[in-house]
Amino acid sequence: MGEKILVLDAGTTSTRAMLFSREGRMERVAQEELTQHYPKPGWVEHDASEIWDKTLSCMREVVGDDASSIAAIGITNQRETVVAWDRNSGEPLARAIVWQDRRTAGFCAELKEAGHEATVQERTGLLLDPYFSGTKMRWMLDNDDAVGAAAQDGGLAFGTVESWLVFKLSGGEHISDASNASRTLLLALDGDQFDEQLCELFGVPKAALPRVVDTHGKLASCDAQWLGSEVPICGLVGDQQSATIGQGCLSFGETKATYGTGAFVLTNKGTDLPRSENRLLGTVLHQEGGTRTYAIEGACFVAGSLVQYLRDQLGLIGSASETEDLARSIEDSGEVVIVPALAGLGAPHWKPDARGVISGLSFASGRAQIARAALEAMAHQTHDLASAFAADGAPWTSLKIDGGMSANDWMAQDLADILDLPVERPDFVETTALGAAICASVGAGLYPDLGNAASAMRGATRTFTPSMSAEVRKDRLARYARALSVA
């Protein structure tokens, strides 16, 4: 058996395959963009066949004829996105509903009005919001004839993206790891498998759901037809939990923020069930041998996708990398403020019907001011989360950041300034993929535990320290609060 780890990183805007050495060095990568479908305002869909086809293409490009060198496969994925497929043919029954999709806001409101949210939060750690998978499954059952018919004849399989990929890779294994399963509204945080009562509440047949397994261990096998020889699948972990592991946040209280399509902050809460009084989320961080480590989480739905929106929809920039130069080209944003509620507002506000706001425009406002305001919005949203974590008795003393947006030095410094905290960034910012590699390496037996693997595989870091005056910070946050009030 070899010692390399193949990571499949099935993200929201692209899918990638990455080959890691045992020491955590990324040796090869292949990436393909995914088509985003927006059939109606607030609706976001993916083609599950495209996810599979492009993932397979990327992994074959990375591996080539060298499958014998691979010890294990690790998979990390966009969470909460729901795929429905026929378990007999292995083909999708409908487009996947993406985590950003808001079409189930009405159903969530009905459940809230019926008084179910407190019980759901206590049992699952989650709130009644369209973000999560369970209401998406119910919508498919109610509105897609093929999904409904498959449920009737017993051929329906539901799963999040890692579950879909494992099914295709293994030739029919229907599993989901505990980190992803904990994002469905259908798993009690202290329950081994999907919960019958929760399934009844949301109207989702338990028989259509996968078996819940550990995040690392001997979980399944990739069939020899795909890479030329059979390869064990030893790591499955949702993208934000994976980044937390990749940042080495393996002790109680350690905190990371990932800035990708959205922005996600997780604090390790150990083995105690996580509880929040400030509308943060409890989630499974990782699981081994049935034993769970938990995290408390705050999620902002729009981060890097705001920059993508400026590029693709508004045509204000040609590439995401332009935003740093534009931000540095001016002293401030000229009082331009962006509230990036393009897919509603996540934690701690949870306003699914909120819409984006650009305020403070004048004739002096141009591309630079809007680009800078877009980057400033990352710090403003993170400050909202920091306040909620502190109110829950989990104040941050520092913050580890990662994800594609964190490579922007200006944004990293702005985070430190607005939070008034040191911000640490690893030289290798793709910690989501690294976390999956760490899980798979432990699952394959290359390291005895996550701590040893993280110590061996993580690299150097850089720290940004705050330098903004209290007055400037106060003025920035006040302008954001005013803009937020009309979102």
| Alpha helices by DSSP H, 73-144 | 105-113, 117-124, 133-143
Going from the C-alpha of 142 to that of each of 17, 325, 399, the distances in angstroms are 35, 48, 42
Amino acid 1: pLDDT: 66
Percent of the chain with pLDDT strictly greater than 90: 81
pLDDT digits (tens, 9 = 90+) for 130-156: 989 999 999 999 999 999 999 999 999
pLDDT tens, 165-224?
A: 999 999 999 999 999 999 999 999 999 999 999 999 999 999 999 999 999 999 999 999
Q: Which two tokens stand for residue 119?
A: 């019980």
Find, among 429, 418, 424, the residue nearest to 379 by Cα. Answer: 418
* Mean pLDDT computed over every residue of the chain: 93
3-state secondary structure of 448: coil
Please give the single-letter amino acid code of residue 70: I
C-alpha Rg value of the chain to the nearest Å: 21
> Can you give the pLDDT at residue 279?
84
> Residues with Cβ < 8 Å from 113, sequence gap 6 or more?
none
pLDDT digits (tens, 9 = 90+) for 74-132: 999 999 999 999 999 999 999 999 998 999 999 999 999 999 999 999 999 999 989 89
Domains, in order of start, for the chain = 4-239 (3.30.420.40)
pTM of the model: 0.85
What digits encode the pLDDT tens for the residues 5-48?
Answer: 999 999 988 999 999 999 999 999 999 999 999 999 889 999 99
The per-residue pLDDT for range 401-438, each reduced to its tens digit, is 988 899 999 999 999 999 999 999 999 878 999 999 99
Write the single-letter amino acid at 426.
P
Q: Give yes or no for residue 398 having a pLDDT over 90.
A: no
Round to whole Å and give the CA distance between 244 and 315.
34
What phi and psi values does residue 66 have, to the nearest 5 degrees? -110, 35
Q: What pLDDT shows up at residue 87? A: 94
Question: Quick check: helix, strand or coil at residue 220?
Answer: strand
Is residue 363 scored above 70 in pLDDT? yes
Residue-level pLDDT at 351: 86
- Residue 65: partners with Cβ closer than 8 Å, 6 or more residues away: 228
- Residues 95, 49: Cα–Cα separation, whole Å: 9
As a whole number of angstroms, the distance between CA 417 and CA 436 comes to 31
pLDDT in tens, 150-178: 999 999 999 999 999 999 999 999 999 99
Close Cβ partners of 463 (under 8 Å, ≥ 6 residues apart): 422, 423, 424, 425
The answer to whether residues 139 and 97 touch, using CB atoms and an 8 Å cutoff, is yes
Side chain identity, residue 454: A
